[in-house]
Amino acid sequence: MRLSFKLPAALLGLAALVTASNVVELDSKNFDQLIGKDRPALVEFFAPWCGHCKNLAPVYEQLADAFDINEVIIAKTDADGVGRELGSRFEVKGYPTLKWFPAGSLEPQEYNSGRDLDSLVAFVQDNSGVKSNIKPPPPPAAKVLDGRNFDDVVDGSKNVLVAFTAPWCGHCKNMKPAYEKVALAFAPEEDVIVAQVNADDMSNKHIAQRYEVRSFPTIKFFPKGSKEPVAYNSGRSEQQFVDFLNENCGTNRTPSGLLNDIAGKIHDLDVLAQKYWSELPSREEVYNNAKAYVTQQSAGLDTRARTAAAYYVKAMERIKAKGDAWLTKEQARLANLLASPSMAPTKLDEIKVKANILGAFVAQKAEELKNDLFNDGQQVIGKAKEEL
């Protein structure tokens, strides 16, 4: 038995219109057959000569691809050609003009948001209740603040860097990749939060007014122990953000998220470590001095600093028990671990601090070797000049 199906003429016409593209092309003949019926529609009124329309075209194609045509119509009409009558009917005064037609209505709503894909998708989803087929991006690394949680986060208990942004702001978009990387880099820091707030959202505008935000992006730093912000006036590169936070938060991060080469090091113990390594007869005395120093200073150190201080003493004990070769082997082992891509950030921090401390033992010897090589080089150059 053969089955046959008959599609309504309007649907047949719609299918024909989207064979090469999911954007439905409208004119004065088919507009009322398709728009204002069972599905909502976003309609672009364009002109072929319009530069802004040409820029929007590839984004609009992506928008049409993102929604099922059986649920939402993404359409366009040449309002300077076959759709001229429609342009007059809906009072189109510039190009491109986008209008939203709810299901069952020919009373449109003007679209006034951004012309990027994210803004267009968000608008269609919010107004239709239909989800796009675009996979949502991963959640931002920078903590999102709004009118509900701003005062709970910026409460003086932590250092908080806040970027006040707007979705349509080009400078904000340009800054976003670097800002996200900085947020990732400082994620292991318990006392540092890198945050952002959409200050153009109506529900957040009272926050922007409170902190006198008049342009975007505006960046303010709220130091731990205070709710009064400090204006951020440095550059917007990863390194500049990192340098600012390190200076104001007492941290030692790099843009990669790893700790830098001074993290965990304590000057007085560095001096003792160098002395322990270079003055063999005095090692027991230096070791006892290091133990005494750690005992005396521990009460005034935070947990991280206490752990680091204790490792100086532990390293001396390992060298004493296993010989000087242990230091070189341990440095090589830690270097291999630091290169591991699967290591947890907190573990990497622990390893980097240990590597920095072990480096303090041989720092003086390395500097002496560097100077010796330089002096030898100068002597070779001097002799060569004499021979000439």
CATH code for the domain in which residue 83 is found? 3.40.30.10
153-182: average pLDDT: 96
Count of residues for the chain?
A: 388
> Any catalytic annotation for residue 249?
no
24, 34, 47, 53: the active-site residue: 53
User: 270: which 2 tokens?
Assistant: 């560095």
15 pLDDT band (50/70/90 cuts)? very low
pLDDT at 371 over 80: no
Residue 43 within a domain: yes
- CA-nearest of 25, 16, 35 to 64 is 25
Same domain, 280 and 237: no
Within a domain: residue 105? yes
Dihedrals phi, psi of 312, to nearest 5 degrees: -55, -45
pLDDT reported for residue 379? 52
Q: In this structure, is residue 133 part of a structural domain?
A: no
Catalytic residue, from 172, 249, 266, 273: name it. Answer: 172
Catalytic residue among 42, 98, 169, 185: 169
The answer to whether position 10 is within a domain reads no
Question: Do both 109 and 147 map to the same domain?
Answer: no
Boundaries of domain holding 353: 267-371
Does residue 20 have a pLDDT over 70? no
Catalytic residue at 50?
A: yes
pLDDT grade, residue 211 (50/70/90)?
A: very high
Taking only the tens place, the pLDDT of each residue in 282-340 is 999 999 999 999 999 999 999 999 999 999 999 999 999 999 999 999 999 999 999 98
- Has residue 35 been placed in a domain? yes
- Do residues 277 and 352 share a domain? yes
Catalytic-role residue among 50, 122, 301, 337: 50
Q: How confident is the model at residue 3 (pLDDT cuts 50, 70, 90)?
A: very low
How many angstroms separate the CA atoms of 248 and 149, rounded? 24
Q: How many domains does the chain have?
A: 3
Query: What pTM, to 2 d.p., does this model score?
Result: 0.68
On whether residue 238 sits in a domain, the answer given is yes
Q: What mean pLDDT value characterizes the chain?
A: 90
**pLDDT reported for residue 21:** 86
pLDDT in tens, 36-85: 999 999 999 999 999 999 999 999 999 999 999 999 999 999 999 999 99
Residues 88 and 182 grouped into a single domain: no
Angstrom distance (rounded) from CA 153 to CA 73: 42
